[in-house]
Amino acid sequence: MTRSIYSEMPRLLLTGLAAGVLFTSVSPSAVAQTIPQPEQVRRPVIQREVEREIQRVEPRVVEQIRDVELQIRVANVENIELLQTIGRYEGALRAYRVGRTPSDLDSRMRDLAERMGGSAEMPFNTDDVARLDQTRMSMRNSEDPSAVFEYDRRTGNFLFNAGLMKMRDDSSTPDLPRQSELAELAQRHLQEFGLDVNTREMNVAHLGGLNMAIPDGNGGSTVFEKLKSVRFERVMDGLPVEGDTRLIVQLGEGGSLAGMVYQWPNFGRGQEISQRLMADPQDMQQQALETVQAMAADTERAWLTAVDLVLYDDGRGFMEPAYHVVLNRMIDLGEGEPAMIPYDFYLPVLSEPRAFFPFMEQAERAPENGEDEGALRNGEDE
């Protein structure tokens, strides 16, 4: 808890005497009379001079002044002091990049699609590979369009779905595995298909499933269990990995593989980030403060719930440290009780990040000549 500035007056008096400054009164009204008015002297100039002099004598006083000023400026945002943790690093930070795409990636992906499709009795035509965009490729089953295998040539990420054809009946899938078995079964399938995942980086984030509900004729519904699922989250360098990284395994009858979302690229060892490549902590705090102020304007209540140092995977081959700031807001929409509308953003640690963060998205107008009318472009198109 930040102490009152008046509780620090004895320390300030001693500091002032040491600096050759005489405080003749500590009365609030008297202090107010001695403060120059805005039209006399610009406040930022005074603040810098005062901080510079006090810093020479007692560095901790500057920090206390900033604490008080921060609380005054954003008095309507609770837990605003969390922003002061930005820039305090306990250990070395690393930036990562996915290794060069193996020359045989396409053949390996076709082989994986053939094996996974075969295990689910839903084969894919591996001779007919469609291009979805610049890096994503796709294979489908000829009888069930919902059965698909897609992969990214840049990262090696892929999606497998055995389709919905077998789940149309009004019945639950027999012999579904128990919740306690899901994580072990998922790791067994990873090993079966040669997916080398470091188990030390894996944490179980969620256990769930896929259900189907139909009306029961009495105003309610009957629920049928179709699949079980487990989602893993990743931890590297002791930091949670956010952004694109995820691993979801769907299990069907007898624990058989029914689907997988594999967004778990091989980042290798990474490169340690030197201090000169990091953004200035005060600049980062100021940027976060301005964003929070803007997003908290006109709210009934606003409070920070997290300012966490994480590794952000952009899904395009880069992963870098960043701060994830989460702001909860109660906003009056004119419909009775205020609505909870959270807002979150990422703040890169690097002064010139190579990873593509959400705030870098751009929407531009089409050229005046009418070409590509209505098209949206983002930074990836540059």
Angle subtended by helix axes 43-57 and 9-18, to nearest 10 = 80
Q: 206 φ, ψ to 5°?
A: -160, 140
Work out how many domains the chain is built from and give that number.
3
- Choose between 125 and 182: higher pLDDT: 182
Same domain for 218 and 287, yes or no, is no
Domain that holds residue 303: 78-90+275-382
Compute the average pLDDT of residues 79-93. Answer: 94
Q: Whole-prediction pTM value?
A: 0.74
Please state, in angstroms and rounded to a whole number, the distance separating the CA atoms of residues 259 and 159.
8
Same domain for 115 and 157, yes or no, is yes
Same domain for 224 and 279, yes or no, is no
pLDDT at 361: 72
Domain final residue, candidates 263, 296, 317:
263
Same domain for 251 and 104, yes or no, is yes
Same domain for 60 and 119, yes or no, is no
pLDDT at 256 over 50: yes
Residue 159 lies in a domain: yes
Residue 241 lies in a domain: yes
Residue 102 lies in a domain: yes
Same domain for 256 and 303, yes or no, is no
Same domain for 33 and 162, yes or no, is no
Same domain for 68 and 84, yes or no, is no
Q: How many CA atoms lie within 13 A of 47 on its CB side?
A: 9
Q: Which two structure tokens, joined as six digits, stand for 181?
A: 């078995």
Please state, in angstroms and rounded to a whole number, the distance separating the CA atoms of residues 351 and 95.
13
Q: Which two structure tokens, joined as six digits, stand for 167?
A: 């789940």
List pLDDT tens digits, range 49-74.
666 666 665 655 555 555 545 544 45
Residue 317 lies in a domain: yes
Domain final residue, candidates 263, 298, 320:
263
What kind and span of H or E run contains 330?
strand 318-331
Averaged pLDDT score across all residues of the chain: 82
pLDDT at 1 over 60: no
Same domain for 380 and 307, yes or no, is yes
What is the band of 306 on the pLDDT scale with cuts at 50, 70, 90? Answer: very high
DSSP result, 105-149? HHHHHHHHHHHHHHHTT----TT--EE-SSSEEEEE-SS-TTEEE
Same domain for 103 and 244, yes or no, is yes
Residue 248 lies in a domain: yes
Same domain for 124 and 240, yes or no, is yes
List pLDDT tens digits, range 332-366.
988 888 999 999 999 999 999 999 999 887 544 44
What is the band of 90 on the pLDDT scale with cuts at 50, 70, 90? Answer: confident
Same domain for 124 and 20, yes or no, is no
